[in-house]
Chain A
């Protein structure tokens, strides 16, 4: 019998008194953890297959199940943690790169949680959003550098193409392929109802979803999957994906098993083949090449749509963003390193890139220092987890935010971080028809609408507390923020004072 070098990560705890042996858990688990033993007339479990997705726990009609971390412990070391030891065993067994999903679970500083928001007292009244108008409409795109007049002296009110959002929250890129058709449909319908945008990701646009085009951002990534004229024409904006926060500097890999008929058609690649996006765009080896791609896409779409350039937050992000702002992009999306992913090499996800808070603050300040902040809008992404994170991002300088992980949570995801396995029990990160149908797009869309409505309400409450009644007066309003427990260097980069100052 082969030696198993490491124990199961989780332990399935079943309360025998409560279990009625209905076998719902067995039917629900795509990882085949639960099984019925007829000889003993008992439900048993294969703990080593469990990913802690909580599907069985949520579906168990008698509440008989609990998943908890396996308490078995290797000898403690702060340097060689149990996790690190297991990863080495695993690699010694397979010889392969470690794969992970979703944002890094490592204990890096979360600057959102070290920033506090201001409120009015005495000298300036707070505003009650239930009694007074409170505005969260946002426009994304290039702004004119000054007034232009028509020959008759009136003001020329023509603008370059822009996006109009009813709330400063958009759904970030998740490709069809990495997530299911029902998940995409939920996002598309919710974005339409909310008056905001969802993003196709790099997997093309399913033919059934062209009707949601006015609320769709179509992405062009290094693999160019599914990119053709109708696709570019379908969206409200075109996003060039240069990088992703969770895996800066590398491309993507969608395993052949996920390339079933519809995905294959949408991506325009043969069924069953791996979809590999190269690390760089092979026509972009420098900033001037990016400019050419931006204008190629603008030409192809007849200058009717704004072009977004999405970059991962890396060390010299401010200089890169400045270059992009001068290259014809209308919007820059910056993706911080704590952002999610459907699959990334673990070592890259956990070690490459910088936090969105610092990247955003540095980019906004650099563009202002250079007097070109008006040339582009900034969208912050990569672990914007709540309405207060949104408020902080906007006050640091973002025009809007992209959220993805919270949208997955809204659809049922429990962050088991196993998307790369393709067996998502919640019907989100999978292409298995029996699993996909578990996510009802009617329910998914409604829950997404609820989530964003709730956040929008909270943003309005927080703004009202500060005496601000329109989100544009919050943007870049760093005086409304204070750091807590941060070094002077961190405060300087964030451009904020410390609490008490």
Chain B
């Protein structure tokens, strides 16, 4: 019997692509669909997905939950849970377009919600933690319900299929955002389940990832000590939780997180001991304290978050990834063709070194417009 994603660990190869307008100009979703479609051969039709930031300006103060349901019963149970814990401002089916390439879709719903202040107070958690706990609880406890997007003014769209078909299915050309990431998946066997497609998201963090990390179980068993439960058994899931823990909970900067998960080699750290002893001490501290969060094996990831995106390769750079710019827009993709497809005259094309984070945040103007 074929096991569902989460019951078995499925390695995947992949394509990733992302872009951001630093000045907060809104970019149509059709652009990212076009970009990823040029890497068609890096996917095999068993998963594609997108994350858009700044796509719900009219609801930007509410958490947008995107949910897959297998049955109406699961939907009713989930909605009862949401009613108990949240103020639901708006709910609807996510608009989709029937196309032959995308089949067997689950029920796909969207909710704009805010947690009830009384519930937050009695939980003794901060708001984000409360929301994250509710999402994890629904995903674990309600059979047939799966919240695959849960941040504010952003959303994940994913399915089993080629990414360009997934984009058409979700009518992404009807959305505009200041940043987009996308993913085409090449799993080595059939996950058969939409939840297994990428991006993986928790709150406003989303990860698209190309690679297969060899440190997976070391990372998983460490992060699970801190209240996370890796139910999908995918790299993307565990990497998202690592970012959530280090960035949201430990309040480490993205640069520092890069030097934990793609830590410099000892030979490099020793080189800093004389020239930059404080830097060497910090890097050694990170490698000692958070050794179980070092990620080895090939990966190229794009992390999306409110106000920016970050790209990172494993420290040996075992996966291709290029970056390019034009005016205020920065493009990142597995292959340069995916960038040239939407920006033929882009400049400053370069390949970041292994372990070198590329962090692009909204400019002050962009923040004023979008946040």
- A residues within 8 Å of B by Cβ? 120, 123-125, 127, 132-133, 135, 137, 139, 143-144, 146-147, 149, 155, 157, 159, 162, 368, 371, 373-374, 466-470, 472-480
Contact = CB atoms under 8 A, between A and B. Distances in A.
Q: Which 10 A-B pairs have the closest CB atoms?
A: A473-B215, A479-B217, A472-B291, A467-B214, A157-B285, A124-B212, A477-B218, A473-B296, A123-B11, A147-B250
A151 B254 CA distance: 20
Contacts of A123: 11-13, 188, 212
Given A127-B316, A467-B297, A473-B295, A159 B265 contact: no
B113 to A, nearest CB: 29
Interface stretch (B42-50, B52-60, B104-112, B222-230): B222-230
A155 B294 contact: no
A159 B216 contact: no
A142 B259 CA distance: 21
Given A137-B266, A469-B316, A473-B295, A159 B288 contact: yes
B77 interface: no
B218 A476 contact: yes
Contacts of B292: 472, 475-476
A124 B225 contact: no
A470 B355 CA distance: 14
B13 A467 contact: no
Nearest to B227: A371
Contact of B252 (A125, A147, A467): A147
B285 A368 contact: no
B27 to A, nearest CB: 33
Contacts of A374: 225
Contact of B298 (A125, A159, A475): A125
B128 interface: no
B188 A368 contact: no
Nearest to A124: B212
Nearest to B253: A155
If over half of A's interface residues share one DSSP class (helix, strand or loop), that class is named, otherwise mixed; here it is loop
A374 B292 CA distance: 10
Contacts of A125: 298, 318
Nearest to A137: B266
Given A123-B11, A133-B267, A139 B288 contact: yes
A478 B288 contact: no
B256 interface: yes
A143 B288 CA distance: 8
Contacts of B224: 368
Contacts of A373: 222, 225
B281 interface: yes
A175 B352 CA distance: 53
B83 interface: no
A123 B213 CA distance: 10
Contacts of A368: 221, 224-225
A147 B251 contact: yes
A468 B214 contact: yes
Q: Which of B249, B250, B291, B316 has the most CB of A within 10 A?
A: B291
A159 B291 contact: no
B111 to A, nearest CB: 32
A168 B93 CA distance: 55
A144 to B, nearest CB: 5
B83 to A, nearest CB: 32
A374 to B, nearest CB: 7
Nearest to A158: B285
B289 interface: yes
B217 A480 contact: yes
Contact of A476 (B9, B11, B221, B290): B221
Given A137-B266, A147-B252, A368-B224, A473 B218 contact: yes
Contacts of A473: 214-215, 218-219, 294-297
A374 B290 CA distance: 9
A478 B289 contact: no
B119 interface: no
A120 B211 CA distance: 13
B285 A155 contact: yes
A466 B214 contact: yes
Contacts of A467: 212, 214, 296-298
A155 B256 contact: yes
Interface string B251-294: 11000100000010111000000000000011011011111101
6 contacts: A124-B214, A373-B225, A469-B296, A475-B218, A476-B222, A478-B221
A124 B186 CA distance: 13
A479 B13 CA distance: 19
Nearest to A472: B291
A159 to B, nearest CB: 6
Contacts of A135: 265-266
Nearest to A473: B215
A126 B314 CA distance: 14
Contacts of A472: 218, 287, 291-292, 294
Interface string B1-38: 00000000101110000000000000000000000000
A391 to B, nearest CB: 13
Interface in B310-361: 315-316, 318
Nearest to A157: B285
B317 to A, nearest CB: 11
A155 B288 contact: no
Nearest to A372: B225
Contacts of A469: 296, 315-316
A478 B289 CA distance: 21
Nearest to A164: B288
B197 to A, nearest CB: 18
Contacts of B284: 157
Interface string B189-230: 000000000000000000000011111111101101110000
A374 B288 CA distance: 11
B38 to A, nearest CB: 23
Given A124-B212, A139-B288, A468 B297 contact: yes
Contacts of A143: 288-291
Nearest to A139: B288
